[in-house]
Amino acid sequence: MQNLSVVIVGGGSGLGALLARMVVEEGAAKVGIIDINRQAAESALEPARAKGLPTAVAECDIQVGPQSHAAFEAMVSELGRVDTLINCAAIYPRRPILEITDAEWDASNGINIKGTYHMMVAAVRHMQAQEPKDKIRGRIVNLTSVDAFKAHPQNAHYAATKAAVVSLTRSFAHHVAKDGILVNSVAPAGMATEKAKQLGFLEELAKANPLGRGAEPVEIAQWVLMTGGPKNTFMTGENVIVSGGYIYA
């Protein structure tokens, strides 16, 4: 991420907060976080601020288009430009397939699909107008999931939203390729996060994986950084599956 200005949506916690720390370690020049929890976002930016890097925070409900666009414009105003956008914000509901409520569908679609869409539109409009660096005007990385490609009756609404994000990624990539903007997604298998441990399904994830464990968050984050960093100059419209053999592309 050397010398790049990076914005992480959902960077206040979980994988997003880890990425906020790792982009600093990888040499990012500026870091911004868009999150519904401002306090968490401020905390996640402490490593960047400790190094004296310019930072920005915007509190936002990404389900709302005008809020999303205003939040992204706040990033541009504070940071000057955005080279890489990482879309991490999502919810992970679990509900048997015949019991999903309208409210649960609306929440999943609103955050996981519509929110990702709003942030991508805002980023593309900005990136199209900025000067390229080594022919690349910007990079967008969306977090999807292997659930998009497997039958998953315990959280079919979540899986459906992640399949939709894979499709959105491809459509955006095709549309902006001529502008020098690369759009990709990374699809992890189940991660050994604190939330997975608290909810008690980490053992279930481990049993389903040929490697016998869930992915450590850092093992997923390094692929996000590779896809959204300066070493990626040609890959676009791709979904990188990082599953430990849980699914073979």
Question: How far apart, in whole angstroms, are the C-alpha atoms of residue 5 and residue 31?
Answer: 6
Q: At what angle do helices 65-79 and 116-129 cross, to 10 degrees?
A: 40
What is the pLDDT at residue 124?
98
pLDDT tens digits, 167-210: 999 999 999 999 999 999 999 988 887 777 777 777 877 888 89
Q: Which two tokens stand for residue 202?
A: 């980490």
Alpha-helical runs (H) found in the chain: 14-25, 38-44, 46-50, 65-79, 102-108, 116-129, 156-176, 194-199, 202-208, 217-228
What is the pLDDT at residue 249?
53
Q: In this predicted model, which residue has the larger pLDDT, 209 or 101?
A: 101
pLDDT tens digits, 59-88: 999 999 999 999 999 999 999 999 999 999
Q: In this predicted model, which residue has the larger pLDDT, 34 or 191?
A: 34
Give the whole-number percent of the chain exceeding pLDDT 70. Answer: 99
Active-site residues, by number, are 158
Question: How far apart, in whole angstroms, are the C-alpha atoms of residue 207 and residue 204?
Answer: 5
Residue 132's nearest CA partner among 99, 179, 91 is 179
pLDDT tens digits, 148-173: 999 889 899 999 999 999 999 999 99
pTM score over 0.75? yes
Mean pLDDT of the residues in the chain: 95
Around Cβ 165, how many Cβ atoms within 10 Å?
24
What is the pLDDT at residue 246?
86
Residue ranges and CATH numbers for the domains of the chain are 5-190+218-241 (3.40.50.720)
What is the pLDDT at residue 236?
98
Q: Which two tokens stand for residue 41?
A: 């976002």
What phi-psi label fits residue 2: left (phi over 0), alpha (psi between -120 and 50 degrees) or beta?
beta
Q: In this predicted model, which residue has the larger pLDDT, 215 or 86?
A: 86
